[in-house]
Structure 1
Amino acid sequence: MSTIDKILRFFFEQPRWVKHSLFWLGILLLMIPKELVYSRESPFEIAVMYCCIIVGQVGASYFFAYWVIPNYLWKRRYLLTVLFFILGTYAFSVVERIMVVHVGETLVRTPPFVQEPVWEILTDWKKLLHGYIPALYSGVVFFLLVKYFGEYKKVKERDLELSKEKARNELKMLKAQLNPHFLFNTLNNIYTLALSNAPNTAESIGKLSEILDHVLYKCSGNWVLLSDELQLIANYISLERLRYDERLKIETSEQLSGDVEIPPLILLSLVENAFKHGAGEDSGAPSIHMHTEVGDDEFVFRIKNSIPLGYQAKEEGIGLTNITKQLDLVYAEAYELDITVDRSYFEVVLTVKIDH
């Protein structure tokens, strides 16, 4: 964060009265040094006169910012907006002139001296136009810019926080949908083994314990290491091998140049789909091929499963909707999810750009 950003953040985080006091003090400090260079008057005289001038600027700024603009301009009452701007400009430039003549000059000049009567100030519009209205708007315009920049900044920060909170809530919801789905399938596998008194029941319970440890403790955040996710998948496949015995052919390969972080359970969900809509629907000799690759600038996960002849697979019906939503939230446009459906196989390829 730059020094300017830090100063702006400090300024906008202050209470309103502190911000406004600092702002008008800053305006004074910007105006007075210039006059010290070009004017023959003393610093005291210059400071008094600018304090008088700033009274009109303050009044006009709050009149326009907090009454005219919200009540008329934002409500598209343009004729009244123009009318009040003209009246406000005249009124507060008169205030400026009265403060200078009847307050400032009284403080800095030595009597006796002649002062303009109030009536002359009210009617001498040429002097107001050339001498006081430009000074009036030098403060008003700057005040409006700072005020609405601050409000715009607050709105953007609030929208950003709401967007982040929405994304966090959606991710939690999507994870909640994925985890029970996985557990339900796994428990069904163990239940089937237990009914048949299979000797591998204890082994499958051990694998499930490792899987639960991963889901409960490593998936609490938005990211997990690819190596941990691949170990989870290996445990899952071990459970499925016990269920399908030798008729299921599974091939896995890896080409990893390093480890990367990915959203939890994304790859497991793709593997689940391959079992559910491939091996689970094929009473013959189903097959699943899985390849994981990590390169310099992208990560690729490819899974291909056989499908029985005549099996109608639709993207909406194979559980990819939630996966796509989670990928959209995490990666936005930095990923591709390619789906290929043929008469004999179904293939999903996930490609993610690695942000170094």
Structure 2
Amino acid sequence: MSDKLRNLCEMDFSDYLIAYRSKYRIKAHILFWLAVVLLSVTTNYFGDKNYSIIQALVYAITLLISQLLSAYFLAYFIFPRFWDQRKYFSSILLWLLGVYLLSVFSRILVVYGAEPIIFRLTGDVPVDETEPIAVIFTDLYKLFKVYFYFTLSIPFVFLAFKFFKAQHELYEKNLVLENQKIISELELLKAQLNPHFLFNTLNNIYSLSLYNSPQTSDAIGRLSGILDYLLFQSKRRFVPVSHEWKIVVDYCELERLRYDQDLKLEMTCEVETDTDIIPLILVSLVENAFKHGAGSETDSPWIKISLKSTTECIGFEVTNTYVEHVAPIEKQQGLGLQNIQRQLSLTYGGKQTLNFNRENGIFSVALKINRS
């Protein structure tokens, strides 16, 4: 891999946006001002004064100088003082003074720059004498009637582009930061969940080994698959729901070995579309069922697990027995369903529902994730 490609791969998304915009910023500015010159030349050439191409180009370039100064003065000096620093009064005064001086400057450029060049090119003789600079400074009517418009029209368009660009960049920056925050929180929640899940699974293997059960090797194989999932696949943001279901089956088989005939377990799966899902969510719901159902003081514990994945949604339901006098698990603190709800909320927003029902010694959890 080349150093350039390696640096690109290691670059943060927000840094990439900054680098991309910095690279094309000058080109974008040049294109904008070329478009302004083209518009000015076209307007003067086809206008009432019947300028030639050369005359129209000279006037366009002459006015462009003051428009450039006005645009960057407004965008990079006045606007930051007014918008960011909240210096409203001084900003307005500086803006009015700047408009006046730039209008004077535009008139001077036309009188002492553009018109002599045009007369020299065309051979025409000036009808009026050249205005003295003192007159240009004091002729407010002509300044604000003609040059005020030229000084501010294009710069205001430039400022509008800059404002909307800044708002869009701020939105993108906030979006990147929000995504980074969500990913960080998800990783933190996974880090809290994984050791808890792994600890329970190792306890199951340990219980089997105490009795030299021939099923220990099968359990170790299932644990190997679970560890691979925990260490590698669960690091991804999304995994196929079929992969998650396989881990659910492996975990349930380990638990079935632990409880032997004391636990009745029913599992059904119907996957029409192998939709992606955030890892460990289904496993966590099943783990809670075993912890608070099969692992409680219930006389005849049972757990029912069902999964259905279609093109429209993922539906997952876990129903289990529980002991009435034990605190409801949806109200318990720490790990468990509160953790799961947080992960779902961070990832899916309002596209998911997670409902609990507790009645007559039966607790059920129903998860639905809509694809759109």
Same-fold status (TM-score > 0.5): yes
Structure 2 unaligned spans of 5+:
1-17
Distance 1:238 1:163, change over 3 A: same
Query: Is 1:340–2:349 an aligned residue pair?
Result: no
Using the alignment, how far apart are the partners of 1:254 and 1:319 within structure 2? 23
Which residue does the alignment assign to 2:137? 122
Q: Secondary structure at the match of 1:109?
A: helix
Query: Is 1:165–2:180 an aligned residue pair?
Result: yes
Deviation at 1:279, TM superposition (A): 1.0
Which residue does the alignment assign to 1:100? 110
Which residue does the alignment assign to 1:301? 316
Deviation at 1:281, TM superposition (A): 1.2
Deviation at 1:231, TM superposition (A): 1.5
Query: Which residue identity does 2:93 align to in structure 1?
Result: L
Q: Secondary structure at the match of 1:352?
A: strand
Query: Which residue identity does 1:106 align to in structure 2?
Result: P
Using the alignment, how far apart are the partners of 1:180 and 1:258 within structure 2? 31
Which residue does the alignment assign to 2:4? none
Deviation at 1:168, TM superposition (A): 2.1
Deviation at 1:123, TM superposition (A): 0.9
Which residue does the alignment assign to 2:91? 81
Contact 1:174/1:322, CA 8 A, preserved across alignment: yes
Using the alignment, how far apart are the partners of 1:132 and 1:186 within structure 2? 80
Distance 1:26 1:184, change over 3 A: same
Deviation at 1:140, TM superposition (A): 1.4
Query: Is 1:145–2:155 an aligned residue pair?
Result: no
Larger mean CA deviation between 307-316 and 125-134 belongs to 307-316
Q: Matched residues, percent identical?
A: 37
Deviation at 1:40, TM superposition (A): 2.1
Distance 1:16 1:211, change over 3 A: closer
Deviation at 1:220, TM superposition (A): 3.1
Q: Secondary structure at the match of 2:195?
A: helix
CA RMSD of aligned residues (A): 2.2
Distance 1:196 1:337, change over 3 A: same
Distance 1:12 1:145, change over 3 A: farther
Using the alignment, how far apart are the partners of 1:123 and 1:156 within structure 2? 46
The one of 275, 292, 300 aligned to 2:290 = 275
Q: Secondary structure at the match of 2:130?
A: coil
Which residue does the alignment assign to 2:226? 211
The one of 7, 20, 29 aligned to 1:20 = 29
Deviation at 1:112, TM superposition (A): 6.2
Contact 1:28/1:50, CA 8 A, preserved across alignment: yes
Using the alignment, how far apart are the partners of 1:224 and 1:33 within structure 2? 58
Using the alignment, how far apart are the partners of 1:65 and 1:258 within structure 2? 53
Deviation at 1:263, TM superposition (A): 1.1
Query: Which residue identity does 1:329 align to in structure 2?
Result: L
Query: Which residue identity does 1:165 align to in structure 2?
Result: Q
Contact 2:81/2:88, CA 8 A, preserved across alignment: no
Using the alignment, how far apart are the partners of 1:281 and 1:116 within structure 2? 100
Summarize the alignment of residues 112-261 of structure 1 with structure 2, pairs less than 5 Å apart. 113=126, 114-261=129-276
Contact 1:307/1:343, CA 8 A, preserved across alignment: no
Which residue does the alignment assign to 2:39? 30
Deviation at 1:334, TM superposition (A): 0.4
Q: Secondary structure at the match of 1:302?
A: strand
Contact 1:298/1:351, CA 8 A, preserved across alignment: yes
Query: Which residue identity does 1:273 align to in structure 2?
Result: N
Report the count of equivalent residues: 347
Using the alignment, how far apart are the partners of 1:272 and 1:83 within structure 2? 68
Deviation at 1:241, TM superposition (A): 0.9
**TM-score of the two chains, using structure 1 as the length reference:** 0.91
Deviation at 1:184, TM superposition (A): 0.6
Contact 1:302/1:347, CA 8 A, preserved across alignment: yes
Q: Secondary structure at the match of 1:219?
A: helix
Query: Is 1:58–2:75 an aligned residue pair?
Result: no
Query: Which residue identity does 1:331 align to in structure 2?
Result: Y
Contact 1:182/1:272, CA 8 A, preserved across alignment: yes
Q: CA deviation digits over 1:314-334, x for unaligned, max 9?
A: 424261122112111221100
Query: Which residue identity does 2:325 align to in structure 1?
Result: G
Which residue does the alignment assign to 1:4? none
Q: Secondary structure at the match of 2:50?
A: coil
Query: Which residue identity does 1:23 align to in structure 2?
Result: F
Larger mean CA deviation between 213-222 and 46-55 belongs to 213-222
**Displaced runs of 4+ in structure 1, greater than 6 A?**
none
Contact 2:242/2:271, CA 8 A, preserved across alignment: no
Using the alignment, how far apart are the partners of 1:140 and 1:47 within structure 2? 19
Using the alignment, how far apart are the partners of 2:273 and 2:86 within structure 1? 59
Using the alignment, how far apart are the partners of 2:205 and 2:20 within structure 1? 62
Using the alignment, how far apart are the partners of 2:292 and 2:216 within structure 1? 24
